[in-house]
Chain A
Amino acid sequence: MRQALTLYRSSVGKKALMAVSGILLAGFVLAHMLGNLKMFQGPEAMDGYAVFLKELGYPVLPEYGVLWIARIALLAAVGIHALAAFQLWQKSRAARGAAYRKEDSQVFSYASRTMRWGGVIILLFVVYHILHFTTGTVHSDFEYASVYRNVVIGFQSVPVSLFYLVAVGALALHLYHGLWSVFSTLGVQNPKVTRIRRPLAAGLSILLFVGYAAVPVGVMAGILTLP
């Protein structure tokens, strides 16, 4: 335990925590994307999937049991990820001291430069997203448990759909740099892995973007409609 606390004090320890919480969040992002695609199976499949999640683990656990365990775990992961990022950012900002008059930024990628603000934007988007489709607070016509209907009505607003596309674009960019960085941070240094870590991260990010974009695009293109 003492060892772990000492490790957390170090920059490498904080980054390891960011990597582990990031992997958990990326796993959720992938599962969520696969769940979204049930939209293309129709209202029964989508609403049934929502019921399945609510009843997962029942009767061993109460209804909503697994769902709330997952929600708490995800909230903890977001908290750890953001706290470590904030502490690391503070330390790095202090480490530069005086700024350069001229700085050539072509040596680093757009994805890596936008990790911090991109992360903040994703966090704000997640808050909006929960108010939109989970609680329905900012939804124009929300009906509890009618997931398919709520999603179609939600995305029939073009500004809302465009905002979602921008947000999942930011998410994909964040995941690209994050996913390949995980290998470095956790010390995976097998040359075979090192060679494919960037293409692997790029492929997964593109896959996630396409999967997430499919639903709002499907609604706007008129493929997904109210029954």
Chain B
Amino acid sequence: MDLTLHVWRQETSSASGSFQTYKAAGVSDSMSFLDMLDLVNERITRDGGDPIAFEHDCREGICGSCGMVINGIAHGPHKMTTACQLHMRSFSDGDEIWIEPWRAKAFPVLKDLVVERAAFDRIIQAGGYISVRTGSAPDANAIAVPKPDADLAFDAAACIGCGACVAACPNASAMLFTAAKAAHLSYVPQGQTERLGRAAAMVMTHDEEGFGNCTNHGACQEVCPKGISVNYISRLNRDLLKATLTGISVG
């Protein structure tokens, strides 16, 4: 199939960007979206141009690198799929495709479609961990975890930190990411000791990083390639409010 691409090109984070139009000819429908961009880049390089920069690593939907907004939807039209696992059979011959980077103040564009997601790392550093003595692995089943809790923790832990939730949120809020990273610890016994303080520290850092705030649109849940539920946000809110009421330091 032959496609017309409108791609956001931006030299550096301080440069002003614009859309450039490219023809993508001879695209096979079994190509992934990134394969298609590789094909376009090969032609750009052959013609002596600067290839389109985009982030990618595993190309199997588990690393969270390859975020881009495709025709107005984070990761494109296929539900619960990252851009690298989106296949060209989701498009048809003659389609026009708009490709943009994640748009958020907290995610500055480094080049073209690549954004800096270090703000996510700082949210994790604020409390998304458990302070324990490390050593040899503990015995499996030494601490019993009820099956429903283990499942909920695991569903939250499926977050790959791609940033699609921020990209899709009309408020550019990272509450779904923050909530998932708090919840995968708060559902298991090991995460209880620091639970309330963790929630407070992570939300405060989330706010300081310049993310917006949740107004319960649910757009994040719709685009999340791992299908993480907005219900985790309500758990995070509960823990933060509880931290305040019980006098645990929140600032």
Instruction: Please list the residues of chain A having a beta carbon within 8 angstroms of any beta carbon in chain B.
Output: 3-4, 6-7, 9-16, 88, 91-104, 107-109, 112-113, 115, 177, 180-181, 183-189, 194
Q: Which residue of A lies closest to B200 (CB)?
A: A10
Q: Which residue of B lies closest to A3 (CB)?
A: B244
In the complex, what residues of B have CB within 8 A of residue A100's CB? 69, 72, 100, 103
Nearest-Cβ distance from residue A23 to partner chain B, whole angstroms: 14
Instruction: Please list the residues of chain B having a beta carbon within 8 angstroms of any beta carbon in chain A.
Output: 6, 8, 19, 69, 71-73, 98, 100, 103-106, 168, 170-173, 203-204, 206-207, 210-219, 222-223, 230-231, 233-242, 244, 247, 249-251
Nearest-Cβ distance from residue A109 to partner chain B, whole angstroms: 8
- Give the CA-CA distance A94 to B103 in the complex, in Å: 11
User: Is B171's CB under 8 angstroms from A96's CB?
Assistant: yes
Contact for B212 among A4, A12, A92, A189, CB less than 8 A: A92
In the complex, what residues of B have CB within 8 A of residue A180's CB? 216
- Give the CA-CA distance A109 to B215 in the complex, in Å: 12
- Give the CA-CA distance A109 to B242 in the complex, in Å: 30
User: Is B250's CB under 8 angstroms from A104's CB?
Assistant: no
In the complex, what residues of A have CB within 8 A of residue B6's CB? 101
User: Is A10's CB under 8 angstroms from B72's CB?
Assistant: no
Asked, given contacts A3-B244, A184-B234, A187-B235, whether A12 binds B103 with beta carbons under 8 Å apart, the answer is: no
User: Is A177's CB under 8 angstroms from B235's CB?
Assistant: no
Nearest-Cβ distance from residue A46 to partner chain B, whole angstroms: 38
Nearest-Cβ distance from residue B120 to partner chain A, whole angstroms: 14
User: Is A6's CB under 8 angstroms from B213's CB?
Assistant: no
- Give the CA-CA distance A20 to B81 in the complex, in Å: 38
- Give the CA-CA distance A94 to B215 in the complex, in Å: 15
Please name 28 pairs of A and B residues whose Cβ atoms are closer than 8 Å in the assembled complex, sorted by A.
Answer: A6-B250, A10-B204, A11-B207, A12-B213, A13-B244, A16-B237, A92-B170, A92-B172, A95-B171, A95-B210, A96-B171, A97-B104, A97-B105, A97-B172, A99-B103, A101-B6, A101-B100, A102-B98, A108-B170, A109-B217, A112-B218, A181-B216, A184-B233, A185-B216, A187-B234, A187-B237, A189-B234, A194-B231
